[in-house]
Structure 1
Amino acid sequence: MSWILSTAEHTTVLAQLNNFTPDAPPGTERLTTLVRWLMWFVLLSGVSAIIFAGGRFAWEKWHGGMLESPKMVVGALIGGVVATSAGSIMSAIIGI
């Protein structure tokens, strides 16, 4: 906790600021487990997408087709960064 002392002309105000931290409500263990499983699935999907895009990149290069797989790799990487940093992003937005 921190204290702020403010003086305005002849008035003194003493205020106490609380630094609250969120607590999970009772019974949220199953929801937390579900979120962890979803995060695992998102990570598995991202790794699979990068592996698929790498194989497609080799296929397009071998057959001389139009190269669209680099877009897939970049999309998978950006999606992975957003998915793995979701907690940090929400903490920054909410201001915890």
Structure 2
Amino acid sequence: MILTAAYDAVLAQIGNPSPEAPPNSDKILQMVRYLDWFVLLSGVSGITYAGGRFAWEKWSGGQLESPKMIAGAMIGGVVATSAGTIMNAVVGA
């Protein structure tokens, strides 16, 4: 009974803090936005390159390896763009 009262008193003082950005975090957030842009650019470039290679492989009659490149770029893009959602699901739980 005493432990329960002490436990409740401690929890009443802690409360439920809301997330807050640390001071001067605008530069870090800007870097994250730049990295996000670079990942998007890399994905578009990879899919464009793989599409061109796919056309070349079909035209020259070579072995088709470019569909794997396209699938890899698309899966990487899905994981990269959903990283924030995944982290919110894992950390927010």
TM-score scaled to structure 1, two decimals?
A: 0.79
Task: Measure the CA separation in 2 of the matches of 1:75 and 1:43.
Answer: 14
Counterpart of 1:31?
Answer: 28
Deviation at 1:92, TM superposition (A): 0.5
Measured on the aligned residues, the alpha-carbon RMSD in Å equals 2.1
In the TM superposition, residue 27 of structure 1 has moved relative to its aligned partner by 0.6
1:84 paired with 2:81, answer: yes
Post-superposition offset of 1:46: 0.1
| Structure 2 equivalent of residue 71 of structure 1 | 68
Cα pair distance change 1:64/1:31, threshold 3 Å: same
Consecutive aligned runs of 4 or more in structure 1 exceeding 4 Å deviation:
none
* Structure 1 residues 79 and 37: CA distance shift in structure 2, 3 A: same
- Aligned equivalents of 1:95 and 1:23: distance in 2? 14
The percent identity for this pair of structures is 63
* Gap regions ≥5 residues in structure 2: 1-7
Letter in 2 for 1:32: L
TM-score of the two chains, using structure 2 as the length reference: 0.81
What is the aligned partner in structure 2 of residue 41 from structure 1? 38
Q: Which structure has more strand as a fraction of its residues? A: 1
Which structure 1 segments of 5+ residues have no match?
1-13
